[in-house]
Amino acid sequence: MIMKKLSDLAKTIRSKNAGVDKITFDIIFTDRDVYDQVRRSKAITPETVATLYGIEQSRIADFVEYDPACAIKFTLYRLRPSGSAGDSDIFGAQQYAPLLDIRIDI
């Protein structure tokens, strides 16, 4: 097996605002075999996401492996509403970066 970064395997890794109190994340693959290998590796699960972001798992609103789109999607509850005082990323577009370097055995 070869260790690869998620950013080398996925076509799209992004985060974005999902309403006032949530940020959603999309990891999209163009190759079904690669998608299946990533899923089977268990490198991206609610548990690993919580660890990666240093949050309680209860802050994960949704976690879906969406086979028709070869995508892994999850949504986190924000600590404070989008655009409120102290919110450092009103659009939630800068939150995906920790996902880029996840190592996957392929």
Rounded to whole angstroms, the Cα distance separating 12 from 71 reads: 9
* Domain ranges, ordered by start, for the chain: 3-105
The model's pTM is 0.94
Torsion over CA: 45, 50, 56, 58 (sign):
negative
pLDDT tens for 26-48 read 999 999 999 999 999 999 999 99
Count how many residues are written for the chain: 106
Strands (E) located in the chain: 3-5, 12-17, 22-28, 60-66, 71-77, 103-105
pLDDT given for residue 90 in this prediction: 87
In angstroms, the CA 7 to CA 13 distance is 7
